[in-house]
Amino acid sequence: MIERFFPGVVETRACRQLLEAAGVVSWGFEPAGLRVTRKKHPGSNVLTLFRGFSPDARLDASLDLFQRICPALEALHEAGRGHGAVHPQNILFHTERLQLVDTGVNRARMFAFGAGPIAAEATQLQYPVWLWASTCPRELTWAEWDHVSLLWCCTLLSRGEDARPWTPLEMLDACEEWAEATQGKLPAGAEDLPRLKRAYSMALKAATCCS
């Protein structure tokens, strides 16, 4: 079993309904937030995987990560769902497979800040270094937030950066460099090319909102 704590989450009817459908072992609301216990998924998070790579291997692996996680996010969004916290601790690697975990829990967390996919108050996040900001701007939908978070996650993994403060414009520049480097590795007409361009346009919007 693994226990996770989501600070700032308050109890709402929608949140309880989503948690009941999320398949967690147990959950409970505390004054400071939501505590969840779930089964431990097999595998290691991708941050552990990337630590042993050379710079060239990190770039290739980050593109592979984008290509494999992006369709999973699109499927979630088409089903009217979202993730809300795409970062390495929520992406597990096991027997050549990548798994995006805690989807239901993070969706419940997003709804717990108000009515609708993006709360009236900005959603507090647990791993700000791996996400665009410590809050999700109201100007972004959860689909946009997920894609921006995936783009930043891949960018930071490819650079092998340790945690440090980043301004929104620094993050945007880094994402642009990563997108240009990875586009050169894709064949003309690849379906991931428009995905990269779309993710970068969302990053531009996020940089504007967060600046």
The model's confidence at residue 145, banded by pLDDT at 50, 70 and 90, is confident
Question: Which neighbouring-strand residues pair with 97?
Answer: 94
Q: What is the pTM (predicted TM-score) of this model?
A: 0.73
Map residue 34 onto helix, strand or coil. Answer: strand
What whole-number distance in Å separates Cα of residue 68 and Cα of residue 49? 16
Per-residue pLDDT reduced to its tens digit, 72-119: 888 878 877 777 778 887 788 766 676 776 654 455 455 444 333 333
Residues 6+ away with beta carbon under 8 Å from 64: none
What's the pLDDT score for residue 57? Answer: 94
